Amino acid sequence: MTGDEILVESSSPAGFAVAEEGSYVAALHTEITEDLRREGLARDLVRNVQDARKDAGLEISDHIRLFLQMPDALAEAIRPHLEYVATETLADDVTFGTPPADACTEEAELGDGKIGIGIVKVASG
């Protein structure tokens, strides 16, 4: 038997993505844990808030008060990451609830649902 007569096939075990090129093989674990899912939600929330800041005409350095309206289950998933959300969006405080009348508000998608975002610029001073 010669090398031309041998067929070598590779496959990925469950939960892994495998790619090979030449003599190199790379495998990535693709399981989404609950912690990773929650972190992803927090990152998506930051993106949504940044979009809302831009739509509100805020400068990059403007600090805000952030109001979030979302289902309780989603709020619980976000809570462990509130410090990250606040830091990334320059939110001096984050409140779960109805924003005041003077807030700039937007609706956004997060996870499988819709959320409300309210932003109030903090006076510099």
Write the pLDDT tens digit of every residue in 18-53.
878 888 878 787 788 899 999 999 999 999 999 999
Q: Which of 5-14, 67-76, 98-107 has the lowest mean pLDDT?
A: 5-14
What pLDDT shows up at residue 10? Answer: 63
Both tokens of 103, joined, read 């807030």
Domains and CATH numbers, the chain: 34-121 (3.30.2320)
What pLDDT shows up at residue 103? Answer: 96
Both tokens of 16, joined, read 């892994």
- 61: pLDDT strictly greater than 60: yes
Q: What percent of the chain has pLDDT over 90?
A: 69
Cα–Cα distance list, 50 to 4, 9, 63, 106 (Å): 57, 46, 12, 11
CA-wise closest residue to 124 among 64, 57, 53, 48: 64
Helix (H) or strand (E) holding 52: helix 34-55
Mean pLDDT of 84-112: 96
What pLDDT shows up at residue 74? Answer: 95
What pLDDT shows up at residue 21? Answer: 85
Please provide the average confidence, as pLDDT, over all residues in the chain. Answer: 90
Rounded CA gap, 34 and 36, in Å? 5
**Does the reported pTM lie above 0.75?**
yes
